Amino acid sequence: MMKKIFKRLMIIIILLFLIATLKNKSSFFDLNLAKFSNVFNSDDYSSRYIYVLDRENKSVEYEKNSRKRAYPASLAKIMTTIVALEHIDDLSAVAPIDVETYRKMVENNASMAGFYGREAVTYRDLLYGTILSSGGEAANSLAINVAGSTQDFVQLMNEKASELGLEDTHFTSPEGLHNKDQYTSAYDMAKLLDYALDNGDFRAIFTKKTFKTTSTMDHPDGIVLESTVLSKLDGISEEGFEIVGGKSGTTYEAGECWATLGVKDGHEYICIVMGATLEDISNPDMAQREDTVKLYERIKTN
């Protein structure tokens, strides 16, 4: 009888030991699985919305919340520029700076290209001022010279968005100042940029680092415009890739946003990053730049 009891106790002890051992092994496995996942977890980006597109085969390299609506800030000027280009016959024609919207941009502390009210610049100057310097006065003057009013131009922007199938995009202004009814998505912005880059004039503007505007009475020596994206890449390591063009967008509501064109192993890629939190607009931390560089580095090419 005692032997049977002893055997049963031994069996229970062994079973308890095995259970404890398996539990510890399970915890060890779970811990290492988590570590393994973290090694391959590339979602260590500050940007809340991301979309990386291979332009050649239209394959998606990476995406994060890409179909969720987000505020575009000055990325809206990508649509402003391509719509204007499709309605301008002569880029050298004079298109003066509109005074009323110029004053509005000054009042709203918008980014400016540096033109003056009524300055007799050309369409080409306005286009470069819109993309490179993200000038609010340039974008609105483009709109008014093309369509007669910003309202009518915005209608053209939204018609183009519908034509391109941008289902999560709606514009309320050419310059991109914050409005709760102005929104897009990283996916839509990539689709728009992919379309716009097929336009030779747009591509030339988008990939230019600096541009000198024509001589006017207000600026006899012209104005040197500088890309708000390419100028921020000086001294930044681009191992195995090159960012050749871009457009920035920054408001507190939209956060820090970049839309860029990069080349890696002969392939062109579009990288959209939006929604990196902005603490101080006067001293941005450039989290969108860090995300963009990291994303290009991680693209796997054949």
Catalytic residue (one of 74, 141, 185, 248): 74
Strand 255-264 to 242-251 pairing: antiparallel
Residue with tokens 């000038």: 135
Q: What is the CA radius of gyration of the chain?
A: 26
Chain center to CA of 58? 18
134 is catalytic: yes
Catalytic residue (one of 47, 111, 133, 134): 134
Residues in CB range of 301: below 8 A, 6 or more apart: 264, 265, 267
Residues contributing to the annotated binding site for substrate: 247
Q: What secondary structure letter does DSSP report for 155?
A: H
Catalytic residue (one of 47, 64, 77, 173): 77
77 is catalytic: yes
Six-digit token string for 286: 């450039």
What is the distance between the alpha carbons of residues 233 and 275, in angstroms, rounded to a whole number?
20
Residues contributing to the annotated binding site: 247
Tell me how far CA of residue 55 lies from CA of 63, 188, 238, 247, in angstroms.
Answer: 15, 14, 19, 17
Query: Three-state SS for 62?
Result: strand
Query: 10 Å Cβ neighbour count for 297?
Result: 13
Is-contact 216 118, C-beta < 8 A? Answer: no
> What residues are labeled active site?
74, 77, 134
